[in-house]
Amino acid sequence: MTPIRAELHRFTPRLAGRARPTAVAAAVATALGVFLAPDAMAQTASSADLQDLKSQVEQLQRKLERLQTQQTQQTQQTQQTATAPASAVKPASAPAGNAPSFYAGPVKVTLGGFVELLTVDRNRNESADWASNFNTSIPYPNSHNYGLSEYHMTARQSRLQALAEGPANDRYATEAYVESDFGGAGGTANYNESSSFSPRMRHYYADVQDKTNGWYLLFGQNWSLVTAEKTGMAPRQELIPATIDGQYVPGFSWLRVAQIRFVKKFGDRVNVGISLENPAALVSSNASSGAPALASMFNNPGASNSFTTGTNISTDYLPDVIAKIAFDPGWGHYEVFGLNRWFRARNITPGQQGNVKTTGTGFGGNMLLPLVPKILDFQAAILAGKGVGRYGSAQLPDATVNPGTLGLEPLRGYQAMVGLTVHPAPEWTLYAYAGKEQVDAQAYTVVAAGKTYGYGYGSSLFDNSGCGTEGVGSCAANTSSITSGTLGGWWKFYQGSLGNAQFGLSDTYIKREIFAGIGGDPTTNINILMASFRFYPYQK
């Protein structure tokens, strides 16, 4: 029995006990606009009974409309699932379609999340937990950690989720989504790429959807619009690497930050969106030994009443702006986007104080191709420009200080990734990713008091002579590139009335290269092996 028929079946006896059948028929006919025969209309109920019956019929109409809307949405979801790429069958960060729901008044609440036991085994010690550092924490031989491995067991990536779908009408729908884990970083928390403040907020946003005109407005904290999608441009359809590591893989472009976003859909194939997102410049300002300090201010320690004093807050003055177009022509999903950033530093030289502003720009694209529907997907992504390092998993710098202007000079660079996802059987997901992030040098030479000094990022005057000797010498080690390869998979070994349980295993190899300086440009590397046991109590 369909929900609509069940509602009618439940409602009929209530009407029968309240008034004569002919009066009931007249009320139903009046409310629903059905013309009855003149002799049936001749008999009338009392005005009080009639008004009461009209009210009940109107309530029934509203319930039926809601049931019809739910059936339509379920049909659309089923059709989308049947034609979606294999990696798009289950959203990576949203409650599954079969997760339990309940109503809190008119609001439908759907729960999600998982419990995880994660083991981390790195052949070099980063002193990191569930999220690896793909850049500066990969040690060189001068560090004692180069000769130490690292092992942890942790449950901090365990996740809690809830989706609240508000009342809807023929035109508008509303929802709110919250997602949290236990990865807060305490005194060094920041929002450079994602929020690490405690309690840790991965996502918390609301959106309003205009179903008639095909647009939605989202505000709160969510994935950046730069992040690749599986289909369209709807929230919770992001194409996130299937890896265990909380930092994903080098070459993957993403943020999870506060934002306000507007997206418009044109037909079934094109989505256009624009997002204003919280800025945070990553600045690397270096100088050779003995060089005079530059009179430039580009960040501040956090105020104790809202941040932590160990957090450096950049002096940005406008949000990052991202615009994106997504295409779904019938085979595959394709995106192109651009972004603009505004940097600011202050010249604090006595008598010359003033703000110095610069801009950074980037362009990129993402695509997802179902090479073998339901079995094999290929994905690729790239972002390139000036001042875009923040968007990569390796967190290369956005800018350095120009000693001439004392402003921030955006660094040119790129980040790129390709991946394959294979589903040889319903309970298996296998994946492989390769990625690279690179940044160009921006070096300056300054002569002061008869001596030559190097400034900026990647200067040949920086001292790398001690990088190869443990505990001895200097190692400036300005990263030029991060290259990586990752293999892994998930095995869903239980799926039933209790939810589902999965085991995952991944192995990532990373090579870190630095700019040549005094002593050359030695490289280093790290291997990261992770194993994960996850239980999804809300997903069958």
Dig out the tokens for 158 from the structure. Answer: 């365990």
Distances from the Cα of 432 to the Cα of 89, 135, 372, 376, 488, angstroms: 18, 21, 16, 11, 7
Distance CA 321, CA 105 (A): 38
Dig out the tokens for 321 from the structure. Answer: 């702006």
Q: What is the DSSP secondary-structure string of 105-138?
A: TTEEEEEEEEEEEEEEEESS-----SS--SSTTS
Strands 524-536, 201-210: pairing is unpaired
Alpha-carbon torsion (365, 370, 371, 374), positive or negative:
positive
pLDDT tens for each residue of 53-84: 666 766 676 666 566 655 655 554 444 444 44
Q: Which residues contact 267 (CB under 8 A, 6 or more apart)?
A: none
- Crossing angle between the packed helical segments 21-32 and 3-16, to the nearest 10 degrees: 140
Write down the pLDDT at residue 312: 79
Distance CA 389, CA 153 (A): 30
The tokens 């996802």 sit on which residue?
421
What is the DSSP-derived secondary structure letter of residue 88? G
Using a 10 angstrom Cβ sphere, with 0-12 exposed, 13-18 middle and 19 or more buried, the burial of residue 63 is: middle
Write down the pLDDT at residue 497: 87
Q: Which residues contact 467 (CB under 8 A, 6 or more apart)?
A: 140, 141, 142, 473, 475, 477, 514, 519, 522
Superfamily per CATH, domain 86-536: Porin (2.40.160.10)
Distance CA 110, CA 96 (A): 9
Dihedral of the alpha carbons of 293, 296, 301, 305, in degrees to the nearest 10: 150
Residue 1, CA atoms < 13 Å, CB-side half-sphere: 8
CA-wise closest residue to 54 among 38, 33, 40 = 33
- Cβ(314)–Cβ(325) below 8 Å: no
Write down the pLDDT at residue 39: 44
Distance CA 308, CA 165 (A): 35
Q: Which own/partner pairs from 429-433 qualify as long-range (CB within 8 Å, at least 24 positions apart)?
A: 429/242, 429/489, 429/490, 429/492, 430/488, 430/489, 431/241, 431/242, 431/243, 431/486, 431/487, 431/488, 431/489, 432/485, 432/486, 432/487, 433/241, 433/243, 433/249, 433/251, 433/252, 433/484, 433/485, 433/486
Write down the pLDDT at residue 32: 38
- Cβ(489)–Cβ(504) below 8 Å: yes
Write down the pLDDT at residue 99: 73
Q: Which stretches of the chain drop beneath a pLDDT of 50?
A: 4-5, 7-8, 11-45, 76-84, 87-93
Q: What is the DSSP secondary-structure string of 476-529?
A: ---EEEEEEEEEEEEEEEEEETTEEEEEEEEEEEEEEEE--BBTB---EEEEEE
How is the chain split into domains, by residue range? 3-83, 86-536
Distance CA 272, CA 88 (A): 20
- Would you call 428 helix, strand, or coil by DSSP? strand
CA-wise closest residue to 379 among 189, 242, 538, 528 = 242
Residue 78: CB atoms within 10 A of its CB come to 10
Q: What is the DSSP secondary-structure string of 201-238?
A: EEEEEEEEEETTTTEEEEEEEEE-TTS-BSSTT-TT-B
